[in-house]
Chains A and B, each alone.
Chain A
Amino acid sequence: MSWPRPAALGLAAALSCALAAPAAEFGRPASPAEVTLWDIDVRPDGKGLPAGSGSVARGTQVFEESCAACHGESGQGGLADRLAGGQGSLASDHPVKTVGSFWPYATTLFDYVRRAMPYPAPQTLSDDDTYAVVAYILNLNGIVPADAILDRTSLTAIRMPNRDGFVPDREFSIIRNARQPPASRP
């Protein structure tokens, strides 16, 4: 450990005192309802995706109303990130990183749109409209057909073109720590 010794000793002393105190001294239990309200992340296995669905057709409308002003018509040519095209460019001198050329998981697109978009009013799209605009952006990239309707099952099943394009650093590929029981350590 690279902390200076006095700090480490001070911390150890502080922790030993604090651990003796009941947890109730800090914080209050979170109710399941409020956890649900804030628990917005979506994993690649679909965990966190809400009920609901949306079509490419509806997504076209949502995009025009809420997204095109920054991202441009058809997700290109706007001030904000380009959303379509670029496939095959990643090894060139001018890589174009878009949802279609770069993003490894369609679930991440749902997560990001839901948490952060539209930029002036994040977390205002309904779940149905979020599915719809995700379907539209995927269709722009040729990943789902024009008549696609996405829900948590069909979105999770999508395999993105650049799914295998990422190499995690070895140091963080498998996480080990001293809190893990020795028998279960990877």
Chain B
Amino acid sequence: MRLTFTGRGRARDGGDPSRRRILAGAAGVAVAGPAAADTLADVPPRGPGAPLSSTSERSEYVHLSRIPESTPGRRPVDPSEAINSKAPLDRLVGTITPADLHYERSHAGVPDIDPARHRLLVHGMVKRDLVFTMEDIRAMPATSRVAFLECTGNGWENWKQAPPDVTVQNTHGLVSTNEWTGVPLRFLIDLVGADPGSTWMLAEGGDGSAVARSIPLTDEIIAEGMLAYGQNGEPLRPAHGFPLRLFLPGFEGNLNIKWLRRLKFGDRPFMTRWETARYTQLQANGAARQFQLRQEVNSVITSPSGMMQIRPGFNRLTGLAWSGFGRITRVEVSTDGARTWRDAAIAGPALPKAQARFQADWAWDGSPTKIVSRATDEAGNLQPDRASFIARTGTNALFHYNAQQTWAIDAGGNVRNVLA
């Protein structure tokens, strides 16, 4: 049997079977390739299929899973020691992430919450301190929006060095896009009569570490924030905050408090551990950037990408681009190590603060090269090259890495992670 990638990265014929298994594993989806003398007569005949079922499982030929991981450089990680779980960007198509594959970052595991016993307390600088049940919340006017969510640690493998043996799931798997459904934050603010002088809101989770972040009440956050109880048409999965989470399109993942239990309106940041000691970015001079809350413009070629193998001739480049500033308006790709660039095609619609899918045709001549993408958003932000990004931020920030991702391709067609 011969194996091929879905999409462009195709396993070579005739290689040894163990290598072909590795290639198939990298692509995640293994399909039987055409036999040497391909004829439709070899396609298995039709027949009655499996009984209809209450839920649709993935095909037995499709293997998709996240990778539980920890801090940069620690790999593999026992799931009991994992702090995040990365989405298989190299094996996903389109822009929507299946809910069970949406990346996860949890700070004290995933609590088991009975929605009937869950409560949301809203208090502080409000006219009325109120307690809501999930029934209350689901009875409120709702909205839905497709938007990305990204862990602020996405990309952190490459701050100081580029591990060569990683996939795009390892380097960029902490971003996903779902349709989120819930109550507009503005509705709740009006409902409790938040004091017009309130400028910050503490949001606190029902997890074991009671993760809490101060949310700046800008017009943008008031207009776009929501108390989400649905993702991709179903109730939130427990790993993503069931039964209720805050969702703030474009803002760093940990602000989007999961298992939301409390909102407290105030007039200054509360300076929790996460907004002081944790999610702040050390600069080269030893000072830390604080409240760098928005996820910057970013993109990555997901295929070909790390640990894949391509062959000379036609290859299609494809990847994802996103920005917390709004729509992706342009994605450029380079197949000569960022010397020359050309526009990739963006598959519409490119929604604001959602991942956009891009692609470009490429004929590889078989000589070693490097491929790179760079995105531009509607605010005019251009994704920085690594050298200027590091010159600006140093290498200690740990979070908010959005430099261009370079994949090197050797003469054998092997694709590897490099810094530039």
Find the A residue at minimum CB distance from B208. A122
A window 145-186: CB within 8 A of B: 165-169, 171-173, 175-181, 184
- Asked if B140 and A18 sit within 8 Å, CB to CB, the answer is yes
Assuming the A-B contacts A27-B130, A177-B217, A178-B219, are A167 and B208 also in contact, with contact meaning beta carbons closer than 8 angstroms in the complex? no
Do the beta carbons of B197 and A105 come within 8 Å of each other?
no
A175 to B286 alpha-carbon distance, docked (Å): 26
Give the residues from 59 to 77 in chain B that come closer than 8 angstroms, CB to CB, to chain A.
none
Are A111 and B272 within 8 A (Cβ)? yes
Query: With A and B bound together, what is the CA distance between A95 and B288 in angstroms?
Result: 12
CB <8 Å contact, B141 and A43:
no
Segment with Cβ contacts to A, from B20-28, B50-58, B263-271, B382-390: B263-271
Within 8 A of A (CB), among B245-293: 261-262, 264, 266, 268, 270-273, 276-277, 280, 282-293
Q: Which of A14, A27, A40, A102 interacts with B210 by CB under 8 Å? A: A40
B137: nearest residue on chain A (CB-CB)? A26
Contact present for A166 and B287 (CB under 8 Å): yes
Interface residues of A in 121-146 (CB under 8 A from B): 122-123
Contact (A175, B291) CB under 8 Å given A2-B353, A111-B272 = no
Q: Which residues of A contact B284 (CB under 8 A)?
A: 91
User: Hey, which chain B residues are within 8 Å of A69, CB to CB?
Assistant: none
Residues in A with CB closer than 8 Å to B291 are 168-169, 171-173
| Cβ–Cβ contact B271 & A165, under 8 A | no
Residue of B nearest to A111 (CB): B272
In the complex, whether A107 has a CB less than 8 A from a CB of chain B is yes
Q: Determine the chain B residues whose CB is within 8 A of the CB of A14 once the complex forms.
A: 141-143, 187
B202: interface (CB < 8 Å): yes
Contacts A104-B271, A166-B276; is A27 near B282 (CB within 8 Å)? no
Residues of B close to A108: CB separation below 8 A? 271-273, 276-277
Interchain nearest-CB distance for B224 vs A (Å): 7
| Contact present for B219 and A177 (CB under 8 Å) | yes
How many residues on the B side are at the interface (Cβ–Cβ under 8 A)? 79
Query: Cβ of B212 < 8 Å from any Cβ of A?
Result: yes
A17 CB, min distance to chain B CBs, angstroms: 7
Q: Determine how close the nearest CB of chain B comes to the CB of A38; give it in whole angstroms.
A: 5
B355 CB to nearest A CB, Å: 15
Decide if A112 touches B272 in the complex (CB within 8 Å): yes
Q: Provide the residues of chain B in CB contact with A116, threshold 8 Å.
A: 108, 208-210, 273
B contact residues around A166 at 8 Å (CB): 276, 280, 287-290
Contact of A41 with B264 at beta-carbon distance under 8 Å, contacts A168-B291, A172-B291 already known:
yes
B200 at interface, CB cutoff 8 A = yes
Residues 112-125 of chain B, each 1 if its beta carbon lies under 8 Å from chain A, else 0: 00000000011100
Q: Which of B191-224 contact A (CB under 8 A)?
A: 191-194, 196-197, 199-200, 202, 204, 208-210, 212, 216-220, 222-224
By the criterion CB–CB under 8 Å, are A167 and B276 in contact? no
**Residue in B131, B202, B224, B351 whose Cβ sees the most chain A Cβ within 10 Å:** B131
Closest partner residue, chain A, to B186 (CB atom): A15
Q: Which chain B residues lie closer than 8 Å to A34 at the CB level?
A: 121, 131
Whether A115 is near chain B, meaning CB under 8 Å from some CB there, is yes
Whether A23 pairs with B277 at a CB distance below 8 angstroms is no
A51 part of interface (Cβ distance < 8 Å): no
User: Could you say which residues of chain A place their CB within 8 Å of the CB of B193?
Assistant: 23
Q: Is B2 part of the contact surface with A, judged by Cβ < 8 Å?
A: no
CA distance A39 to B262 in the complex (A): 9
Interface: A72 (CB within 8 A):
no
CA distance in complex: A11, B222 (Å)? 13
Q: Is B184 an interface residue (CB 8 A)?
A: yes
CB neighbors of A among B139-189 (8 A): 139-145, 184, 186-187, 189
Contact B287 A165 (CB under 8 A): yes
**Is A78's CB within 8 Å of the partner chain B?**
no
User: CB of B136 within 8 A of chain A?
Assistant: yes
User: Are A176 and B218 also in contact (CB < 8 A) when A11-B184, A29-B130, A111-B272 are?
Assistant: yes
Residues of A within 8 A of B285 (CB): 91
Within 8 A of A (CB), among B76-96: none
- Nearest A residue to B273 via CB reads A112
Q: A26-B139, A39-B123, A168-B290 are in contact. Are A180 and B197 (CB under 8 A)?
A: yes
CB within 8 Å for A18 and B276 given contacts A7-B143, A27-B132, A115-B209: no
B190 within 8 A of A: yes
Residues of chain A with a CB closer than 8 A to B218's CB? 172, 175-177
Partner among A4, A18, A23, A107 whose Cβ is within 8 Å of the Cβ of B141? A18
For A93, list chain B residues within 8 Å (CB).
395-396
Residues of A within 8 A of B357 (CB): none
Which chain A residues (9-47) contact chain B, with CB distance < 8 Å?
A: 10-11, 14-15, 17-19, 23, 25-30, 34-35, 38-41, 43-44
Q: Which residues of B contact A177 (CB under 8 A)?
A: 199, 217-219, 222
B129 in contact with A115 (CB, 8 Å): no
Inter-chain CA distance A169–B193, complex, in Å, is 28
Extra contacts, 15 of them, besides A30-B130, A43-B270 (Cβ < 8 A), are A3-B224, A4-B351, A18-B141, A26-B137, A27-B133, A41-B204, A93-B396, A103-B276, A108-B276, A109-B273, A111-B272, A115-B212, A123-B210, A167-B287, A179-B189
For the complex of A and B, 10 pairs with smallest distance between CB atoms: A91-B286, A14-B141, A90-B286, A175-B199, A116-B209, A27-B130, A30-B129, A112-B273, A2-B352, A115-B210
**12 A-B pairs, CB-CB below 8 angstroms?**
A23-B192, A26-B130, A97-B282, A102-B277, A103-B276, A116-B210, A119-B209, A166-B280, A171-B293, A171-B294, A175-B216, A181-B196
